[in-house]
Structure 1
Amino acid sequence: MDPELPVVRLCVAGMQAEAEGRADAARALFQQAWDDARDDYEACITAHYLARQQDSPEETLRWNQECLDRADLVGDERVRGFYPSLYVNMGNAYRELGQLAFAHRYFTLAAERAADAPEGQYGDWNRFAIAEGLRDTAAAADGEAAVRGGVDEGVERAVRELFARWCERGDLKALGLTLPAYLGYLGTDEDRLRLRSALHMVHAARWLPAGEQALLEQALGAVAEP
Structure 2
Amino acid sequence: MDPENRVDPENKVVRLCVAGMAAEAEGEPARARELFERAWAAAGDDYERCVAAHYVARHQDTPEETLRWNEECLRLADAVGDGRVVGFYASLHLNIAQAHGTLGRDGAAREHFALAAGHVDAVPEGQYREWIRFAIARGLRDQAADGRFAELDALVEGWRERGELTALALVLPALLGDLGELGPPGDGERLVTALRMLHSSGRLPDGERAELGRVIGSLAGGAR
> Which of the five TM-score ranges fits, normalised by the shorter chain?
0.7 to 0.9
CA distance in 2, matches of 1:25, 1:208: 49
Contact kept in structure 2, 1:7 and 1:42, CA below 8 Å: yes
Change (3 A) 1:26 1:182: same
Change (3 A) 1:164 1:75: same
The CA deviation at 1:87 is 0.3
Q: For 1:199, which of 192, 195, 204 is the aligned residue? A: 195
Map 1:57-96 onto structure 2 (within 5 A): 57-96=63-102
TM-score with structure 2 length normalisation? Answer: 0.82
Change (3 A) 1:160 1:56: closer
Q: For 2:58, which of 52, 55, 65 is the aligned residue? A: 52
Equivalent pairs counted in the alignment come to 213
2:29 alignment counterpart: 23
Contact kept in structure 2, 1:158 and 1:218, CA below 8 Å: no
Report Cα offsets for 1:86-125 as digits up to 9, x if no partner: 0011111122222222222211211222222233322222
CA distance in 2, matches of 1:204, 1:77: 47
Q: For 1:173, which of 152, 161, 166 is the aligned residue? A: 166
1:182 alignment counterpart: 175
The unaligned stretches of length 5 or more in structure 2 are 1-6
The CA deviation at 1:191 is 1.9
1:143 alignment counterpart: none
1:128 alignment counterpart: 134
Report Cα offsets for 1:162-214 as digits up to 9, x if no partner: 42442232112321221122122222252211112322443565554555555
Change (3 A) 1:158 1:24: closer
CA distance in 2, matches of 1:165, 1:196: 19
Contact kept in structure 2, 1:158 and 1:222, CA below 8 Å: no
